[in-house]
């Protein structure tokens, strides 16, 4: 049996006031003068009946919401990005925004933009492959529907949107420079076979290629799935690849590959230098200790402030923030 | 400069129809007969102006939403739980729900429940410490506001809510049984010092204690922060603790502790057996290979189906689903 849901009319009846008065009191409308005893009577009636006002109705009246819409994640984020997004959620909550995560699997950028626009968010914050899919047309659909700010996180700018650029090429470039400085000339670059990581892995590969330009070093793309079997097979044909260095995408793939190389009797770093990225603690626990690229992301608070500023000033021209910092962390594996 | 946002009145004017007709066409109302040419004219006018209907208005008309409200995460979830929540988001999207994550830091269960109720979600899905904080009163506030289903994930049931029980004590019990079967009698249990993990760590400790009941084995709580310094200090006084086995909370803490013990010259497993939990791949890459507790969580799809069933039948009595499966995975570290 369903209990009937109390309405503002029920509250009005119990408190002996009009529905308008109920609405004014519960929405804290300060422009209407209502005596404190009446306010108290309305609040007590609402509590007794278990009535709470409806945010959708309020949002219609206000003409906009405090909603920040983000696409639902398509892949499990690395610890680095999970941490950032958690922080961002918190920071947005503290600024009184509500974060809505919205799935849009298999939709085109246009379809997704129209579905997002229907929710009338104050801001849309996209990242990774979503940013690319949205495109200038998607941004336009969102803005015309009244979205105050569109912010894209990722590799490239999208016309009309604020850009928080995280250029993954810089990660590859940093790893490439380090391996080259260590005298490596036949360098492999791990490209994970798991779907959804291309937005990170391909720019990283490109970054290594750029580092090698004009050095005479040879760059080889090395596909690897995140399982022991795939790593063992790769290690089994490693000597034929004749690589003297490898940038293994991140620390987790580096750990997997380094273990397989060691099990195959390949010396790290003597025969092959191995470099990861992310600077996870586990890399320091390995023997040899893993060299890595430390990636500095903005804090969730900084991102939230970029969103908030954009919402406050919807007419401002698109800003570009370059936020990815990289530092090589040489340890024993290179 | 802000562009003015097109309204349904603008669409009606351009298409030469009434606002009601615009609403019928764009909301696909099938109960009203409107000719195909008129429908086309309305859609073209909407496209030209960049008008999209407002989901909040639709939700008011429909009297309920397809929104599933979840609290924003307070701590970075382990890979296991991150994966589950990603899957759950996806599965809910496929069932046509929109997932809203809502921060409620520092709010009491009552305050949070009232804030959530205002959004008029179809379902509220809480987990971990939120479930405990909500309480029977919070569930009541939500249901009286029209929320069709409240589902709690976690250690304990909450009166009035559907319960998806994930009893972490079972994880500790499994680890304890395994260490006892290996003949260990002075068993340490790592309790992470990082805030927010108590909801997992304390029931796991309790589970080990239960396993030891009546065996004469002694259980010692071992605080450990997730950093090398903390692990090295703990390893430095390990021999005074005189522990012959340790359940290290999860694989990541186990890896940290095992490395510190090895660096201190303490033999694993001879002097101290080390057991993790989660069965992450990294445990298989360690030497000795890490023994662990494999934890089977429900799939995101199963959870989404529990939510959907509860929404469809809001009058049904609260269901209890016990979903945590545990299996010991003995390797070389115990």
pLDDT digits (tens, 9 = 90+) for A145-188: 889 999 999 888 999 999 999 999 999 999 999 999 999 999 99
| Chain B residues whose beta carbon lies within 8 Å of the beta carbon of residue A315 | 1-2
Does B1 score more than 50 pLDDT? no
Average pLDDT value for residue range A87-101: 81
3-state secondary structure B39-56: HHHHHHHHHHHCCCCCHH
Which single residue is written with the structure tokens 């070389």? B332
- Per-position DSSP letters for B196-218, written without gaps between them: T-HHHHHHHHHHHHHHHTTTT-E
Assess A255–B contact: CB distance below 8 Å, yes or no: yes
Length of chain A, in residues:
334
Decide which of B201 and A86 is more confident.
B201
What number is the average pLDDT over the span A10-27?
A: 87
Query: Partners of B31 in the beta sheet?
Result: none
Closest CA of chain B from A299, distance in Å: 14
Report, as an integer, the average pLDDT of B249-273.
97
Helical H runs in chain A? 8-15, 19-26, 36-49, 55-62, 79-94, 109-118, 129-144, 169-181, 198-212, 228-236, 238-241, 251-263, 281-285, 300-312
Looking at residue A234, its pLDDT comes to 98
CA distance B211 to chain A (A): 31
Cα separation, B259 vs B272, in Å, equals 12
What percent of chain B is helix, strand and coil (3-state, nearest 5)? 45, 20, 35
In this predicted structure, which of A31-35, A277-281, B57-61, B206-210 has the lowest mean pLDDT?
B57-61
Distance CA A286, CA A41 (A): 66
Average per-residue pLDDT for chain A? 88
Residue B61, pLDDT > 60, answer: no
Closest alpha carbon within chain B to A89? B72
CA distance A71 to A51: 32
Q: Assign domain B67-166+298-326 to a CATH class.
A: alpha beta
Q: Please give the ipTM for the structure prediction.
A: 0.77
Q: Is residue A270 less than 8 Å (CB to CB) from chain B?
A: no
Cβ atoms within 10 Å, residue B218: 12
Sign of the C-alpha dihedral, residues A55, A56, A57, A63? positive
Q: What is the CATH number of domain A169-295?
A: 3.40.50.2300
Tell me whether A118 touches chain B (CB under 8 Å). yes
- Mean pLDDT computed over A128-138: 80
Out of A105, A255, A284, name the one closest to residue B228 (CB). Answer: A284
Where exactly are the structural domains of chain B? Answer: 8-53, 67-166+298-326, 169-296
Of residues A302 and A115, more confidently modeled: A302
From the list B1, B53, B104, which residue is nearest A118 (CB)? B53
In CATH, B169-296 is 2.40.50.140? no
Mutate to test the interface with A, among B98, B116, B253 (most CBs of A within 10 A): B98
Whether B92 and A103 lie within 8 Å, measured CB to CB: yes
Which tens digits make up the pLDDT trace of A232-243? 999 999 999 999
Q: Which of B6, B76, B117 sits opposite A83 (nearest CB)?
A: B76
Residue A215 has pLDDT above 70, yes or no: yes
Q: Do A50 and B141 touch (CB under 8 A)?
A: yes
- Reported as a pLDDT band with limits 50, 70 and 90, residue A2 is very low
* Residue of B138, B285, B289 to mutate for A, most A C-beta atoms under 10 A: B285
Does residue B5 have a pLDDT over 80? no
The nearest CA of chain A is from the CA of B155 a distance in Å of 23
Q: Residue B144: its pLDDT value, please?
A: 87
Q: How many CB pairs under 8 A join A and B?
A: 167
CB contact, 8 Å: B263 with chain A? Answer: no
Q: How far is CA A27 from CA A31, B114, B304, B320, in A?
A: 11, 13, 34, 37
The pLDDT of B272-281, averaged and rounded, is 96
Region of poorest pLDDT, from A128-132, A269-273, B117-121, B239-243:
A128-132
**Both tokens of residue A51?**
């009535």
State both tokens at B80. 């296991």
pLDDT at A1: 38
Nearest-Cα distance to chain B for A217, in Å, is 31
Report B:9-48 residues touching A (Cβ under 8 A). none
Q: How is domain B8-53 classified at the architecture level of CATH?
A: Orthogonal Bundle (1.10)
Same CATH topology for B8-53 and B67-166+298-326: the answer is no
Q: How many CA atoms lie within 13 A of B35 on its CB side?
A: 4
B49 touches chain A (CB under 8 A): yes
Measuring CA to CA, which residue among B176, B233, B236, B183 is closest to residue B206? B176
User: Which of A 124-143 lie inside 8 A of B, CB atoms?
Assistant: 140-141, 143
The residues near A98 (Cβ < 8 Å, ≥ 6 apart) are A65, A66, A67, A68, B100, B102, B103, B119
pLDDT of residue B60 exceeding 60, the answer is no
| A residues 200..229 contacting B (CB < 8 A) | 226-228
Query: What CATH class has A67-166+298-324?
Result: alpha beta
For residue A131, the distance in angstroms to the closest alpha carbon of chain B comes to 19
Among B24, B58, B20, which residue's Cα sits nearest to residue B39? B24
Which of B3, B47, B52 has the most A C-beta neighbours within 10 Å, making it the best mutation to test the interface with A? B52
Could you tell me what percent of chain B has a pLDDT over 90?
A: 56
* Residue from the list A52, A79, A281 with its beta carbon closest to the beta carbon of B145: A52
- What pLDDT is attached to residue B49? 84
pLDDT at A161: 95
| CB within 8 Å of chain B, chain A residues 56-115 | 56-60, 65, 72-73, 75-77, 79, 82-83, 86, 89-90, 92-94, 98-105, 114
Minimal C-alpha gap between B225 and chain A (Å)? 12
What pLDDT is attached to residue A170?
A: 97
The alpha carbon of residue B126 and the mean position of all alpha carbons in its chain are separated, in whole angstroms, by: 8
Q: What is the pLDDT of residue A225?
A: 96
Asked if B318 reaches chain A (Cβ–Cβ under 8 Å), the answer is no
Determine the pLDDT at residue A84.
83
Beta bridge partners of A121: none
Q: Which of A2, A92, A145 sits opposite B315 (nearest CB)?
A: A2
Which chain A residues have a beta carbon less than 8 Å from that of B331? none
**Angstrom distance (rounded) from CA A123 to CA A58:** 18
Residue B134 pLDDT exceeds 90: no
């Amino acid at each position: 049996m369903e209990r009937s849901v109390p309405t503002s009319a029920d509250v009005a009846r119990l408190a002996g006031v009009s529905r308008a008065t109920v609405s004014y009191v519960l929405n804290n409308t300060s422009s209407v003068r209502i005596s404190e005893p009446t306010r108290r009577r309305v609040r007590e009636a609402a509590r007794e009946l278990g009535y709470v006002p409806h945010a959708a109705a309020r949002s219609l009246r206000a003409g906009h919401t405090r909603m920040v819409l983000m696409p639902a994640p398509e892949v499990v984020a690395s610890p680095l990005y999970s941490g950032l997004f958690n922080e961002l959620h918190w920071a947005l909550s503290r600024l009184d925004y509500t974060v809505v995560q919205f799935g849009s699997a298999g939709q085109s950028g246009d379809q997704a933009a129209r579905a997002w626009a229907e929710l009338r968010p104050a801001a849309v914050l996209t990242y990774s492959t979503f940013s690319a899919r949205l495109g200038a047309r998607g941004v336009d659909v969102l803005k015309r529907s009244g979205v105050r700010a569109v912010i894209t996180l990722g590799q490239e700018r999208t016309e009309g949107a604020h850009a928080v650029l995280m250029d993954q090429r810089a990660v590859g470039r940093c790893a490439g420079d380090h391996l080259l400085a260590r005298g490596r000339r036949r360098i492999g670059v791990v490209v994970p076979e798991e779907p959804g990581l291309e937005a990170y892995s391909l720019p990283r590969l490109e970054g290594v290629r750029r580092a090698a330009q004009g050095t005479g070093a040879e760059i080889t793309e090395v596909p690897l799935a995140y399982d022991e079997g795939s790593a063992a097979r790769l290690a089994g044909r490693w000597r034929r690849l004749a690589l003297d260095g490898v940038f293994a995408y991140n620390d987790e793939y580096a750990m997997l590959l380094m273990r397989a190389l060691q099990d195959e009797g390949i010396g790290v770093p003597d025969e092959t230098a191995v470099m990861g990225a992310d600077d996870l603690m586990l890399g320091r626990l390995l023997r040899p200790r893993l060299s890595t690229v430390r990636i500095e992301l903005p804090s969730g608070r900084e991102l939230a402030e970029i969103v908030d500023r954009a919402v406050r000033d919807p007419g401002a021209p698109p800003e570009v923030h370059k936020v990815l910092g990289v530092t090589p962390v040489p340890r024993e594996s290179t």
